[in-house]
Amino acid sequence: MEDVMHLMCAARGCPNRWTVDAGDGHLCSRHAWKPAKEWPSITEDIKAAPVQTMSAVEYRKVSDEEKLAILRKVEEMFSHSNHKRWAHALREREARGERLTPYQRSAWKEALGVRE
Ligand SMILES: [Zn+2]
């Protein structure tokens, strides 16, 4: 369960950790409000200009209350009822035509008991 994939933005190649629960995936604030077809170019922007992501909004001081909320969220992600949500999210992304890495593909298939 130390796989950092669970903490990262669901947009492929995005170096940010997720901050927004988009329902079918966890996204960083740069990707969360944009259609998926714009994600690759947004990812390129983030990589090309990482300083841009150092906005006051994203890097504001996090209160203890917010930290607790984040911890609960992480706990929930790993809890029994939700522990395969990431796998469903990956499967949906693949179904939408996104190319997953071989590792992502075999990970969700294994988690959901799908045979190659
Ligand atoms: Zn992102």
What pLDDT shows up at residue 50? 59
Mean pLDDT per 10-residue interval, the chain, length 116 residues: 74 91 85 92 86 56 82 72 79 93 92 82
**76 in the same domain as 41:** no
Looking at the structure, do residues 43 and 68 belong to the same domain, yes or no? no
Distance from the CA of 4 to the center of ligand 1, in angstroms? 14
Ligand 1 centroid to Cα of residue 103, in Å, is: 19
- Dihedral sign (CA 42, 18, 26, 28): negative
Same domain? 102 vs 77:
yes
Q: Has residue 57 been placed in a domain? A: no
Whether residue 16 lies inside any domain: the answer is yes
106 & 70 share domain? yes
Task: Tell me how far the alpha carbon of residue 108 lies from the centroid of ligand 1, in angstroms.
Answer: 20
What residues contact residue 56 under an 8 Å CB cut-off, 6+ apart?
none
In this structure, is residue 55 part of a structural domain?
no
Classify residue 69: in a domain, yes or no: yes
The pLDDT assigned to 81 comes to: 54
Give yes or no: residues 41 and 77 share one domain. no
Residue 53 lies in a domain: no
Neighbours of 44 (CB within 10 A): 11
Q: Is the pTM of this model over 0.75?
A: no
What is the structure's pLDDT at 55? 56
Position 56 in a domain? no
Domain count along the chain: 2
pLDDT at 43: 94
Q: Ligand 1: distance of its center to the CA of 38 in Å?
A: 11
Domain extent, residue 23, equals 5-48
Establish if 77 belongs to a structural domain.
yes
Q: Is residue 91 part of a domain?
A: yes
Phi, psi of 26 (to 5 degrees): -100, 125
